[in-house]
Amino acid sequence: MRYPALNDLIAKADNKYSLVLATAKRAREIIDGDEPLVKIKIDNPVTIATNEIAEDMIHCIYNEGKPHETAIIEETEEAILLDVEAVATTLITKA
């Protein structure tokens, strides 16, 4: 059996969708240079992210807001509207 087990990971999130989003976000952070919170022999960012979730170093927090809401983000003197359907429905926090 592979570690971490999928059933154990789903128990740490509200649903599979939230788990996938949290894992993808954390994997992207690792790819972008964030230090892994666990030491494992595998360099795959998705595997590292799932291990961090399994070890309770990353927590999935479900955003109760509507998935089709938009958020305004200020970036270099202009506002950019982002569709946060897939981006902000799940947040991750480091323990």
The full set of domains in the chain, from first to last, is 6-94 (3.90.940)
Q: Which two tokens stand for residue 80?
A: 């950019």
Q: Model-level pTM greater than 0.75?
A: no
> SS3 of 82, please?
strand
Residues 6+ apart with CB under 8 A from 40: 47, 48, 51
Mean pLDDT in residue range 56-81: 52
Residue 83 has pLDDT above 90, yes or no: no
In this structure, are residues 59 and 9 in contact, taking their beta carbons and an 8 Å threshold?
no
What is the per-residue pLDDT for 32? Answer: 93
Residue 73 has pLDDT above 80, yes or no: no
* Nearest CA among 60, 23, 61 for reference residue 44: 23
